[in-house]
Amino acid sequence: MDKIRIVGGARLNGTIPISGAKNAALPLMIASLLTDETLTLANLPRLADVALLKRILGNHGVDMTISGKRIGEAELSGETAHFTARTIVDTTAPYELVSKMRASFWVIGPLLARERFAKVSLPGGCAIGTRPVDLFLEALTSLGASIEIDAGYVIARAPDGLKGGRVVFPKVTVGATHVTMMAATLAHGETVIENAAREPEIVDLADCLIKMGAKITGAGTSTIRVEGVDRLHGARHAVMPDRIEAGTYAMAVAMTGGDVLLEGARHDTLVTPLEVLSEVGAEVTVTNTGIRIYRNGADLQPVDVVTEPFPGFPTDLQAQLMALVCRAKGTSHIRETIFENRFMHVQELARLGAEIHLDGQNATIVGVPVLKGAPVMATDLRASVSLVIAGLAAEGETMVNRVYHLDRGFERLEDKLSRCGATIERISG
């Protein structure tokens, strides 16, 4: 099993190209099930989750080809992939595939909309909370589907096709908003989604669906309207840059000091995290080519943060921020409101010398002058990268085990950091 070895203490200087967003790429790939024509996605990140979803889509009959590298293309640029679901050969998404990644459950929407039937295993993924699928199923029921659960599978039927309806989510849910919006594109009549997620990845999916012929308004607001159409066609779309990757590297620069351009990062998707970084003590400059993060060695300052749906501070950056403020001069407070089990990184950060106290969903972080390298264990995707951030600033060597979690969401992390001066390497075995 691979490990990542880090020797802390080096400042980061240079340019880090930001990859396509995993959280946008997955629903965009799933949208290929909605049409029998080719959907071409550019800037697709090379990630374990993307590779797994390719296998899942292939199981349904999606043909995939990858464009070759072009002259002048950057070494760390994303790939261009073509997805063609000319015929859906299987409407079942089996347990052995879906159990490995929660987002694969989302195929239920397009399969039901196009084939009027879907049998999808209940999902797996990171163990960061219960994340029930009730909201997905209630939404599809509002669109006329009949749902039953049998032997660990959700069986959804709409023999006369889905029908437009009113979907009111009791709480903001990104996944169910994705699924409902995709399913509604082929429903008869208008669907109104209220208390919809406002995340940039929702907007990116809507933009792609509109290119495919969907009629969608309101994406990026709490009310989305979808007028169903008879069919969708092929399109070409570039995956948006990954705001979580950009925020992660921004915090790494703030942690170590230095001067790094996050090439391709979009400020409009990171307003709240960048405001927090400024409070911590980093200088943030928006440029024509991305976002520049700079810190010259001034003390890190404590902050109080609550995770919230977009445009609030994202739960996917909570662990990284916690690692950062472990070195702040004072006491910080972080309240996690999205997932009930997302503090698993705390005990591993403590191995590096962090002083963190938990009370339910509240964490109190008392800044310490020094972190010291140690062997640590990654527990989930975002927790694992928080250990990398801490290791970059720790004295001595940090060895991060179970880095397969990292490969699910960060493309060539060690290459990007080492190019900016970090002493970091992957050890295979």
Residues forming the annotated binding site?
22-23, 102, 131-135, 316, 338
Q: How far is CA 427 from the centre of its chain?
A: 25
Q: Which of 376, 371, 354 is nearest to 363 (CA)?
A: 354
* Strand, helix or coil for residue 278: helix
b/e per residue, 329-365, with b = 16+ CB within 10 A?
Answer: eeebebbbebbeebbbbbebbebbbbebeeeebebeb
126 tagged catalytic: yes
Yes or no: say if 363 and 387 are a contact pair by the CB < 8 Å rule: no
DSSP state of 69: P
For the beta carbon of residue 65, count every other beta carbon within 10 angstroms: 12
Q: Which of 387, 233, 418 is nearest to 320 (CA)?
A: 387
Instruction: Read off the tokens for 15.
Output: 């340019």
CA distance 333 to 187: 45
Cα-Cα-Cα-Cα dihedral sign, residues 366, 379, 392, 306: negative
Q: Which of 126, 208, 326, 420 is catalytic?
A: 126
Name the strand (E) or helix (H) holding 38. Answer: strand 38-44
Question: What single-letter amino acid sits at 141?
Answer: T
Instruction: Read off the tokens for 16.
Output: 């880090």
Q: Phi/psi of residue 341, each to 5°? A: -135, 45
DSSP string, 326-376: TTSSSEEEEE--S-TT--TTHHHHHHTT-EEEEETTEEEEE--S--B--EE
Question: What single-letter amino acid sits at 201?
Answer: E
Greatest CA separation for the chain: 65
Yes or no: say if 127 and 341 are a contact pair by the CB < 8 Å rule: yes
Which spans in 233-380 are helix H? 243-256, 271-280, 318-325, 346-351
List the Cα angle 67/241/83 in 5-degree steps.
35
CA distance 238 to 391: 33
Binding residue numbers for phosphoenolpyruvate: 22-23
Binding residue numbers for UDP-N-acetyl-alpha-D-glucosamine: 102, 131-135, 316, 338
Residue length of the chain: 429
Yes or no: say if 124 and 98 are a contact pair by the CB < 8 Å rule: yes
Active site residues: 126
